[in-house]
Structure 1
Amino acid sequence: MGSRPDRDRERPSDLSGRFLGALLGLAVGDALGTTVEFQTPGRFEPVVDMVGGGPFRLAPGQWTDDTSMALCLAESLIEDGFQPESQMKRYLRWYREGYLSSTGRCFDIGVTVREALEAFESAGNPVAGSTDPRKAGNGSLMRLAPLPLFLYQDPATAIHLAGESSRVTHGATTAVDACRFFSGLLIGALKGYGKEDLLAPVFSPIDGYYQAHPLCAEIATIAQGSFKRKQPPEIRGTGYVVESLEAALWAFDRAESFEDTVLLAVNLGHDADTTAAIAGQLAGAYYGVEAIPSRWRDRLAMREVIERLAWDLYRRGLEDHDLAFWGQNTEREPD
């Protein structure tokens, strides 16, 4: 869709920086946003740096459930391919044991995620996400980046399985379609599409994809560019996935750097860490890791773990994956 990507931006060394940027950008946005998580915009001093604190009294650079779940997803994909049960086992280990937490314990978890994990724990069905539209939270979108990184070579499968990755904890159509649309945006950013193309109406890295596999009305409205016609307080960084996605794209559209993107997202308040984690995925994939201020990268908790997983995703992302060996729930939508 739109003009072809700039192939110079797809050189292997630059591409690896985009992979690193997507995962580190998620964590940086999360760590910045936790400072004002749950606060109403206008009732706090604007965030300009990574200072920690917030409702969980974190040290600068520590992050919350957004990053923990993303790292669990990354590890699952690298070790097992796309396996919903593997994903849920890791999420459950994080919930019960603090696995891949910046503090060693699970201190922040959304209600919808917790309910899905407890349902999986008791019944064993990994596709445990509620389909209730009133539970269309942003908990699957916030962790998404590892999946399109892993499936970089196969955009159609990346878009389809992004939706399937949501269903394990968030089965509402809006949550599923937010992940599908955002996965395509991340693939486009990795491939070097310009911002004008990425934010054009209903961007897809595959021509005609959403004509064949339509988005629900709420996500289609965002894909058409609703965020371009709004300003706060119409733009709201809440826990509702529709508003989260719109807010993240609003920040990405208006900013001209990674730093400005995530700070715009953070200062919307409310679910600030997640809005910034979503925006950070896209801005990191678009601008690359070197655009993330070094002072933030240097403070980031478990940076080595995040970078190792990003490098593993990069290596795996350049492979062709045989879905025949991936087990259940991986049937690909036709192109």
Structure 2
Amino acid sequence: MIQQQILNFLRAAVVADALGVPVEMRQRGTFQLTEMTGQGTWKQPRGSWSDDTSMTLCLLQNLVAGGSYDDLLDKFEAYVMYGDWTSRGVTFGVGRTCANAVRNHAINQLPALECGDAAEFANGNGALMRIAPLAVVLQHETDFQRRVQITRNYTALTHGHPRSVLGSLIFLEVLHELLLDQSVASALKSVHNRIVREIPDDAAVTAEFKAYQRLFLPNFGQLPVAEIKSSSYVVDTLEAALWVALNSDDLKTAILTAVNLGGDTDTIATVTASLIVAKNKLATIPDEWWSQTLNHALLDRVMIPFAEKFAD
């Protein structure tokens, strides 16, 4: 990806996050979003973005600086505890599993890769929401096993269960294929075949494959919206975002479709936006939406160096 494409990839996710924030946790069918709004669920002004973007910014700066996993958790702590990396100095809506990981690192002094909760009930989407930039970093990494290990490590910082690891892997591998100009349907087929063929010895991960089986059905994209769940459960979030990506080419349409699914609107829209820009590198963010997002000074200070470092 060239520098501007990377910036579009990152900025689209911010816009999607900000669009979803005011209606997060609202039930599908009780609203119909068509533009950037404010207040709502978190009583934040229009254009505010959430933990999805804040924790992604932490990742971006850590990658640019070549920081360790412990360094990244230090950045997460600064976000959660002190409001760093936020749109207006206010932390809101941090998921329980992410907060527990920060506590494990800051207070319990656990090593970074042991901070993520490995319990089955801790399979939220808090790793999925921040991990997309790794697809840019790994776009030329041809060693699948190395991509698997890096994905596992960055996920386990907050989410240690194999189901979350597999969710991150599917997402990043689909992005990997989209950046190679495959369609979403072809990418899913390639990822399915690769995972089945190349990680059969990882029993903990492959045992979770059944949780994601529906993604790989030939007719998954044709399922009616009533069969698409939009909760913060990692499987639901990934399914919802990929379902939208299978049915939308236009970025604006896709983001609005994702938000209007209800539930965990900001994260589903964020993941969706990353998929759409990866599959359509000419996708453009509506100028009005981008201009309405807050704290461009911080966003540019973190995103531009990342784009410069990892552009082709």
Q: TM-score, normalised by structure 1?
A: 0.83
Partner of 1:111: 96
Q: Give the distance between the partners of 2:230 and 2:147, measured in 1 at CA.
A: 26
Output aligned runs, 1:288-303, within 5 Å: 288=281, 290-303=283-296
The equivalences for 1:74-153 within 5 A come to 74-81=60-67, 83-125=68-110, 126-127=112-113, 128-153=115-140
What does 1:177-326 align with in structure 2 at a 5 Å threshold?
Answer: 177-199=166-188, 201-203=189-191, 208=194, 210-214=196-200, 215=206, 216-218=208-210, 220-225=212-217, 227-288=220-281, 290-318=283-311
For residues 137 and 202 of structure 1, do their structure 2 counterparts lie closer, same or farther at Cα, with a shift above 3 Å needed? farther
Q: CA deviation at 1:317?
A: 2.5
Taking only the aligned residue pairs, the percentage that are identical comes to 27
Provide the secondary structure at the position in 2 that maps to 1:175: helix
Which of 16, 32, 57 is matched with 1:71 structurally? 57
| Cα contact 1:34–1:64 (8 A) shared by 2 | yes
Q: Structure 1: give runs of 5+ residues left out of the alignment.
A: 1-11, 320-335
* TM, length-normalised to structure 2: 0.89
CA distance 1:145–1:308, shift in 2 (3 Å): farther
2:118 maps to a residue whose letter is T
* Aligned partners of 2:212 and 2:235 also within 8 Å: no
Structure 1 residues 165 and 78: alpha-carbon distance in aligned structure 2, compared to 1, 3 A threshold: same
Which deviates the most, 211-220 or 19-28?
Answer: 211-220
1:167 aligns with 2:156: yes
Q: Which residue of 1 aligns with 2:9?
A: 22
Instruction: Check whether the contact 1:23–1:284 (CA below 8 A) recurs between aligned residues.
Output: no
Corresponding position of 2:203: none
Compared with structure 1, are the counterparts of its residues 32 and 240 closer, same or farther at alpha carbon in structure 2 (3 Å cutoff)?
same
Count of residue correspondences: 301
Question: Where does residue 35 of structure 1 map in the other structure?
Answer: 22
Q: Distance in 1 between matches of 2:196 and 2:5?
A: 25
Q: Is 1:75–1:309's contact at 8 Å kept on the other side of the alignment?
A: yes
Contact 2:57 2:303 in 1 (8 A): no
- Gaps of at least 5 residues in structure 2 are 201-205
Paired with 1:124 and 1:289, the residues of 2 have a C-alpha distance of 45
| Stretch moving more, 215-224 or 177-186 | 215-224
Instruction: Please report the RMSD computed on the Cα atoms of aligned residues, expressed in angstroms.
Output: 2.2
Contact 1:80 1:86 in 2 (8 A): no
- Measured after TM superposition, the shift of residue 196 of structure 1 is 4.1
Q: Deviations over 1:288-326 (max 9, x none)?
A: 37521111111122234334433333333358xxxxxxx
| C-alpha distance 265-27 of structure 1, shift in aligned 2 (>3 A) | same
Q: Is the 8 A contact 1:150 1:313 kept in 2?
A: no
The DSSP-based 3-state class of the residue aligned with 2:151 is helix
* Change over 3 Å in CA distance of 1:222–1:312 after alignment to 2: farther
Contact 1:148 1:158 in 2 (8 A): no
Report the Cα offset of residue 210 of structure 1. Answer: 4.4
Shift of 1:274: 0.8
1:69 and 1:287, CA in 2 relative to 1: closer, same or farther beyond 3 A?
same
Over 3 Å counting, the alpha-carbon distance change for 1:309 and 1:153 in structure 2 is: farther
Match of 1:93, SS?
Answer: helix
1:48 is aligned to 2:34: yes
Per the TM alignment, residue 262 of structure 1 is displaced from its structure 2 partner at its CA by: 1.0
CA distance in 2, matches of 1:160, 1:262: 30
- The structure whose residues are more often helix, as a share, is 2
